[in-house]
Homo-oligomer: A and B are copies of this chain.
């Protein structure tokens, strides 16, 4: 049988997983998908994601690909997988991709959304999906600081300590902050993200929103290329991978 490449778009609630990628301690999304694909095709299948998501991080539009010789038509993988997957993982699309397609290497960029619930008491509905932040956050101060982050920079200050990456230069094409009621949404779009980059940017912007740092200090934090100069890493459950661009 000729081999074909299948591109999957995947929605998941990250709460009960150790993240996208295989880990010795806990069940990963990748592992669950490979297990179900083995049931469907009768063979070991390797699933390649567009990138890792941390434990607890959600996805509305993660993308992955795999190669198969199975005769099953591409759209039927969606139905077969959704039948077998747990309730917190859903395939929203399965299509045949050109032979050279690679979920990670073909990606042109990604959009992440971070949700902050800015009030004193929790929400039953948002609890698994938003960082509950009780202190008042000044939107103007956050937006002013955010303006320094957008663009092409060396984001070494916003990378998890001990990460080993060849280049820490990335293009953050946009960073929008929207407030609606008690909910603050931060949208990050860029050609690539370093480990914990979105979460460290959120943790740092929150320091500006509280008035702990003056907006012009953001430039110094970027230029320092030092993780210690940036703020805390915001908790994973507020983060959602919205879309991967190809």
A92 touches B121 (CB 8 A): yes
Q: Closest Cβ of chain B: how far from A138's Cβ, in Å?
A: 24
Tell me the complex Cα distance, A92–B181, Å.
14
Tell me the complex Cα distance, A162–B87, Å.
35
Q: Residues 50-92 of chain A: 1 if any B CB is under 8 Å from the residue's CB, otherwise 0? A: 0000000010100000000000000000110010000111111
Residues of B within 8 A of A129 (CB): 125
Tell me the complex Cα distance, A59–B160, Å.
39
Residues of B within 8 A of A82 (CB): 121-122
Residues of B within 8 A of A89 (CB): 124
Out of B87, B125, B127, name the residue touching A127 (CB < 8 Å).
Answer: B87
Out of B87, B122, B123, B124, name the residue touching A124 (CB < 8 Å).
Answer: B87
Number of this chain's copies in the assembly equals: 2
Q: How many residues of chain A have a CB within 8 Å of chain B?
A: 21
A13 at the interface (CB under 8 A from B): yes
Tell me the complex Cα distance, A89–B127, Å.
11
Out of B88, B91, B124, name the residue touching A13 (CB < 8 Å).
Answer: B124
A207 at the interface (CB under 8 A from B): no
A11 at the interface (CB under 8 A from B): yes
Residues of B within 8 A of A90 (CB): 121-124
Residues of B within 8 A of A155 (CB): none
Instruction: Pick 16 A–B contacts, CB within 8 A, sort by A.
Output: A11-B123, A11-B125, A12-B124, A13-B124, A13-B125, A58-B125, A78-B121, A82-B121, A82-B122, A87-B122, A88-B124, A90-B122, A90-B123, A90-B124, A91-B121, A125-B129
